[in-house]
Amino acid sequence: MQTLIVKTGRRTQLVDVTAQVQKVVASSGVAAGICYLYVPHTTAAITINECADPDVARDVEGALDRLIPTAGPFRHNEGNSDSHVKAVLVGASQIIHVEGGKLVLGRWQGVFFCEFDGPRDRRLLVKVEAGIQTRVYQLGTLPPPPCFL
């Protein structure tokens, strides 16, 4: 397992970490397998979404801030309850297939570390496991369902 350090610059910020995660995958030497991503924080998360247009990440940041206002009402007295709720909604882990030594992502997809109580230095845990059989099907070319006759 490797730990990536993610430096964030805003309270709510989606940081594109696709290249860093891909570097870990490449350095692992794993050609086919699974990449596990885990965020060991209670006010940060990890997601996969469009990376082609940076406005999408900014829109997600704004939408989450509007959806979960900082003001509350909340019981937790650290002043970051909204950050905890956002982290719960987005989630602490992701799993991505690895084929040909690369992350299997859609054409427009990127991996985003999600900061909800920044700016801070954060950790992203990356584990690449070999030997798990994966096969990627394109929509419309799925194999027929198993026959139980």
Scan for tokens 């704004």, then name that residue: 62
Q: Does the footprint of Zn ion cover residue 8 (CB under 5 A)? A: no
Give the nearest distance from C-beta 117 to Zn ion in angstroms.
8
Find the distance separating the first CA and the last CA of the chain, reported in whole Å. Answer: 44
Stretch that binds Zn ion, among 54-62, 74-82, 90-98, 102-110 (CB under 5 A): 74-82
Stretch that binds Zn ion, among 29-37, 71-79, 102-110, 118-126 (CB under 5 A): 71-79
- Number of residues in contact with Zn ion, rule: CB under 5 A? 2
Q: Does the footprint of Zn ion cover residue 129 (CB under 5 A)? A: no
CA distances from 97 to 25, 32, 69, 75, 100 (A): 11, 8, 35, 40, 10
Q: Does the footprint of Zn ion cover residue 80 (CB under 5 A)? A: yes
State whether the Cα torsion 81-82-83-87 is positive or negative. Answer: positive
Instruction: Determine contact, residues 57/49, Cβ cutoff 8 Å.
Output: yes
Q: Does the footprint of Zn ion cover residue 117 (CB under 5 A)? A: no
91's tokens: 């989630």
- Among the listed residues 53, 78, 99, 129, the single contact to Zn ion using CB under 5 A: 78
Summarize as ranges the residues that interact with Zn ion (CB under 5 A): 78, 80
